[in-house]
Structure 1
């Protein structure tokens, strides 16, 4: 039985429910990352004994599942776009925006599908966008491919943000500090393709890079779409 199937116990003596528990856990995660989240710390935030929480959530893994599902509500648009490409585009960008608001989400993306109502609704929206445009297996592979790109791009962006905070160096500061080493290394002639990229490539911000990569992935999906046989 999943956490969503299990009924909630009585709220007495301290008023509790899963909604309050998850809200407290999200706040802790936003403040200090996933390492700041535990049933004991959530209970302390709610002024409740830790054992009270076990009536609502049996394990930390269940709590993390609930955290992900809570944030996935932010990914769903109010209205599903009619065009498949726009639908997947919107969901991808809203996933990135949610991860930038809740950086810990990057650590939990890409695992087993979450079975909460919001997670299922996100998956439904992705598959519904391709309904009638391809057979089921093609639609599944298309959704997996787009999701893999989105997850990888988000994790890379969040890793860079964390590195900036850990070192105190912005991307441009890091580039300046690393410049002499890179210049000496490229001058050896051992990395001609990399040298060309460094000297001739256009530096773009994370949002533009994400958007361009997503467009290329969606172009690849479009090439594979064809209505299933009647």
Structure 2
């Protein structure tokens, strides 16, 4: 049976989508492909290399969104594509912000992001660019991981996210009645259940506004 790194990566991604990274191993991939485990070592040396390969496949899809003539549009599009990729492949969120992603497609996405941010009005040098990239990446990684974690928590409870939050009602109501958490009470009682995509885009815009309007020091 002909093998390739692309075929191995595609099978690994399918297994990780279904069972998560904890359920992924070279042995299971080999079984799925109908070959002996040792065959895979001609293409990937270990699990770490396999994960890097899988990650770069996802980055290839993010890179496909392309670049725009205006820096902000490019950054927004890449960030939104990253969120969509993490929701489609939740294991990808687990690997964001960990070891450096240095595959060709990951580097292409990083280059597009950095080049776009370098055009932002308040980015006037390499130090500004490093800080801007750090702020942007910290937001994206944190927001995506939180959203994926909430989805997993809801699934583990056997319900959807809104129903899971409602199940916490009796306990939370009791805590809020103590009067010790007035601001949280306002958020719970008066705040709407915000749409995750709209919230991501809104907060992303705030981050970019901050990068754009940062005063000269």
**Which stretch shifts more, 101-110 or 170-179?**
170-179
Residues 75-94 of structure 1 aligned to structure 2 (within 5 Å): 75-94=62-81
In structure 2, what is the Cα distance between the partners aligned to 1:73 and 1:202? 36
How far off is 1:119 after superposition? 0.4
- Counterpart for residue 209 of structure 1: 199
Residues 94-133 of structure 1 aligned to structure 2 (within 5 Å): 94-133=81-120
How far off is 1:78 after superposition? 4.2
**Alpha carbons of 1:211 and 1:26: their partners in 2 closer, same or farther (altered >3 Å)?**
same
In structure 1, what is the Cα distance between the partners aligned to 2:65 and 2:183? 45
How far off is 1:223 after superposition? 2.0
In structure 1, what is the Cα distance between the partners aligned to 2:175 and 2:60? 47
TM-score (norm: length of structure 2): 0.92
Are positions 1:40 and 2:30 aligned together?
no
**Which stretch shifts more, 173-182 or 42-51?**
173-182
Cα RMSD of the aligned pairs, angstroms, is 1.6
Residues 1-230 of structure 1 aligned to structure 2 (within 5 Å): 14-133=1-120, 134-224=124-214
Aligned residues of 2:157 and 2:164 also touching (Cα < 8 A): no
Aligned residues of 1:34 and 1:104 also touching (Cα < 8 A): yes
TM-score (norm: length of structure 1): 0.87
**Alpha carbons of 1:128 and 1:66: their partners in 2 closer, same or farther (altered >3 Å)?**
same
Higher helix proportion: 2
In structure 2, what is the Cα distance between the partners aligned to 1:177 and 1:135? 50
Equivalenced residues, count = 213
How far off is 1:88 after superposition? 0.8
- Structure 1 residue ranges, 4+ long, deviating more than 3 angstroms after superposition: none
**Alpha carbons of 1:223 and 1:45: their partners in 2 closer, same or farther (altered >3 Å)?**
same
Aligned residues of 1:113 and 1:119 also touching (Cα < 8 A): no
- Counterpart for residue 11 of structure 1: none
Aligned residues of 2:30 and 2:36 also touching (Cα < 8 A): yes
In structure 2, what is the Cα distance between the partners aligned to 1:35 and 1:78? 30
Aligned residues of 2:65 and 2:81 also touching (Cα < 8 A): no
In structure 2, what is the Cα distance between the partners aligned to 1:28 and 1:154? 21
| CA distances 1:101-158 after superposition (whole Å, capped 9, x unpaired) | 1111111011132111100001000011123543122112211211111111111111
